[in-house]
């Protein structure tokens, strides 16, 4: 597997507080998802639950390479990029409320899981139609270009998602327009139950991007430093007006498509190998400890802090009500302000 190489070594030169911040987001992603599993089993999660187990590293690392803060860079995450959203400032309580369809959730019970947005913080929620966010994020990057703002868009696409028409139309449009857009191609080996060899005839997703004149690299997606460095390079390049960049991250989806899916179609030895030898959080922790930049006490303190934060977020919202039924009607348009309530409701 390709590694970050020298770029990875450079990433290790990040200052201590940033190394710990990255660890915080990795741990927060995993612990928050583990909490969601518990809530799912208690039937408090209304719909499906989607894990990013094994993909936390590339999510956090790629988002961390962006400029964050009010009205800086913008990314569009997929269902397995919870970590990316947390890095951009999404709050655990918002995620919990979304999954539990609470009235106070960011979408007031209208949309599921991580499908929500805060453009000022810098994330635009996906829709379920894979590929569609590529043209939309191209439009956002087009706006940056038209306004001559030094901002960058970043968008994720899965291995299966690269089979959609919108992926190709959007990538080509962005390439022709030389837009400040970075595309992260997540090769996680499974599109629901479909393996790559049934999805495309190329070996690497990077080959597809190259077909559009887009520079593309393939990196070890479970090496946080490699993903960070590759993304940082691409983001800086895009910010300088050099156009689109594609980064393929090789990783592995270690849970089923969603929590209901027992992934019987996945070879058990593969799952075991990726879990024991190539867990991105374990690898990252071992690496920062081995570099003697942080201590075990630092890491344990973050683990404890995350546990408390997830507990507090859960307590804050778990007993909140669902939205009032009739709140389903307003907000389709600005004008008219609400859909008509149908006649039989008044009988």
Positions touching other proteins (CB under 8 A) are: 107, 110-111, 115-117, 119, 124-125, 127-129, 132, 134-143, 146, 165-166, 169-170, 172-173, 176-177, 331-336, 339, 343
Smallest gap from residue 204 Cβ to other proteins (A): 24
Closest among 195, 193, 132, 158 to 80, alpha carbons compared: 158
Q: State the burial class of residue 154 (Cβ atoms within 10 Å of its Cβ: 0-12, 13-18, 19+).
A: buried
Cα separations (Å) of 131 from 169, 171, 268?
9, 10, 30
Find the shortest distance in angstroms from Cβ 335 to other proteins: 7
E strand segments, 167-229:
181-187, 216-220
We find the least distance from the C-beta atom of residue 124 to other proteins, in angstroms, to be 7
Q: Which is nearer to other proteins, 111 or 320 (CB)?
A: 111
CB of 129 to other proteins, least distance (A): 5
| Closer by beta carbon to other proteins, 301 or else 339 | 339
CA dihedral (237, 212, 221, 63) in degrees, to 10, reads 40
In the bound state with other proteins, the residue whose beta carbon lies nearer, of 172 and 222, is 172
Nearer to other proteins, 165 or 267 (CB): 165
HEC sequence for 76-121: ECCCCCHHHHHHHCCCHHHHHHHHCCCCCCCCCCCCCCCCCCECCC
Q: Which is nearer to other proteins, 29 or 172 (CB)?
A: 172
Q: Which residue has the tokens 């039989």?
A: 344
Q: For the CB of residue 138, give the shortest distance to other proteins in the complex, in Å.
A: 5
CB of 195 to other proteins, least distance (A): 25
Minimal distance, residue 108 CB to other proteins, in Å: 9
Output 31 or 164, the one with its CB closest to other proteins: 164
State in angstroms the smallest separation of the CB of 178 from other proteins.
Answer: 12
Instruction: Select 115 or 287, whichever has its Cβ closest to other proteins.
Output: 115
Q: Which is nearer to other proteins, 136 or 299 (CB)?
A: 136
In the chain, the DSSP E strands lie at 74-76, 153-158, 181-187, 216-220, 245-250
Q: Render 2-35 in DSSP notation, one character per residue.
A: ---HHHHHHHTTS-HHHHHHHHHHHHHHHHHHHH
Tell me how far apart the terminal alpha carbons of the chain are, to the nearest angstrom.
66
| Longest distance between any two alpha carbons in the chain, whole Å | 72
SS3 284: helix
User: Of the candidates 216, 184, 192, 234, which has an alpha carbon nearest to the alpha carbon of residue 84?
Assistant: 184
Sequence-distant (6+) residues with CB within 8 A of 327 are: 103, 108, 109
Question: Tokens in use for 158?
Answer: 């899965």
């Amino acid at each position: 597997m390709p590694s970050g190489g020298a770029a990875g070594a450079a990433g290790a030169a990040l200052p201590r507080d940033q190394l710990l911040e990255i660890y915080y987001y990795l741990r927060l992603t995993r612990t928050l998802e583990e909490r969601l599993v518990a809530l799912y089993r208690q039937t408090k999660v209304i719909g499906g639950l989607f894990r990013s187990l094994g993909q936390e590293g590339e999510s956090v690392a790629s988002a961390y390479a962006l400029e964050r803060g009010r009205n800086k860079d913008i990314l569009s995450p997929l269902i397995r990029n919870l970590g990316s959203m947390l890095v951009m400032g999404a709050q655990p309580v918002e995620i919990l409320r979304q999954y539990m369809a609470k009235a106070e959730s960011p979408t007031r019970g209208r949309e599921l899981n991580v499908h929500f947005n805060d453009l000022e913080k810098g994330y635009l929620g996906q829709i379920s139609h894979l590929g569609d966010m590529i043209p939309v994020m191209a439009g956002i990057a087009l706006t940056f270009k038209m306004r001559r703002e030094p901002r960058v868009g970043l968008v994720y696409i899965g291995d299966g998602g690269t089979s959609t028409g919108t992926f190709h139309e959007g990538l080509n449009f962005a390439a022709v327009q030389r837009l400040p857009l970075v595309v992260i191609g997540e090769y996680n080996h499974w599109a629901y139950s479909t393996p790559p060899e049934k999805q495309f005839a190329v070996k690497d997703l990077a080959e597809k991007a190259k077909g559009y004149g887009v520079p593309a690299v393939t990196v070890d997606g479970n090496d946080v430093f490699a993903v960070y460095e590759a993304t940082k390079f691409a983001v800086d390049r895009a910010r300088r007006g050099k156009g689109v960049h594609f980064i393929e991250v090789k990783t592995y989806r270690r849970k089923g498509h969603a929590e209901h899916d027992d992934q019987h179609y996945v070879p058990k030895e593969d799952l075991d190998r990726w879990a024991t030898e190539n867990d991105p959080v374990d690898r990252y922790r071992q690496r920062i400890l081995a570099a003697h930049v942080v201590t075990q006490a630092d890491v344990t303190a973050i683990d404890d802090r995350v546990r408390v934060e997830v507990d507090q977020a859960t307590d804050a919202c778990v007993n909140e009500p669902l939205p009032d039924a009739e709140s389903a009607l307003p907000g389709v348009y600005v004008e008219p302000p609400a859909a008509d309530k149908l006649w039989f409701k008044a009988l």
